[in-house]
Structure 1
Amino acid sequence: MPTERKIYVTTHDMKRLLALLEGTASVRNAEAAEALESELASAVVVAPDKIPDNVVTMNSRVRFQDEETGQEREITLVYPKDADPQQGKISILAPVGAALIGLSVGQSVDWPLPGGRLKRLKIVEVLFQPEAAGQPDL
């Protein structure tokens, strides 16, 4: 990820994500788990009531754009047990999920995909964020 950017993660999300990463042994998710771990190591950790409402947190509904194709997509960022791609619920351990955590509206990220490809994703809008909605434990 060559772009210098600052990402934010709540204390609740950090605790849960680190516990998730400790229990992740799936080879299928190994690359995304490693990338997520790297992102979390450089994240600014803040209390849930201090997170800006334009930041992607766990269980946020977000609209992002593939800057190469211009295609936009809405997803809800969830833990693996709640993932349901047909319903737009994308796991934090999926490459796209790991790419979006902690980004704020207007930020972009170059994210490696399986097979050595890169995707440049840009946050267009945070449609729902649990912390902003007063539901930090969601």
Structure 2
Amino acid sequence: MSSIISFPFREAVADVEYKGFLIPKGWKAMPLFRNIHHNPEFFSEPQKFNPSRFEVTPKPNTFMPFGSGVHACPGNELAKLETMIMVHHLVTKFRWELVGSECRIQYGPFPLPLNGLPTKFWRESTTYN
């Protein structure tokens, strides 16, 4: 849904005109990755958690959970591998469901589930909370 760092600062290395606005050389800019990730021009129903939207690779610079270029997170490949291993085990070894019907996200400075994310996990006859 969003990246860990929602708003890095960058310095303009040259004058840049963007949509009629001038960003002078030396000014600080703050790209909001969360706004890019939730842009309906790039993702249909951007507020809805829908992992299948990535069955088709997103357009360049429309999904940057780890930043990009020289400022990209150096641990991004490890984080992706760890996430895939965890999801593999959750999906193949456990049944699970969210407890409750409300799941909202709070932003500031990092995206976190409001009031946590209560989930019930179980394997066969044993329940894990």
- TM-score of the aligned structures, taking structure 2 as reference length: 0.26
Q: Which has the higher contact order (CA 8 A, sep 6+)?
A: 1
Q: Which has the larger radius of gyration?
A: 2
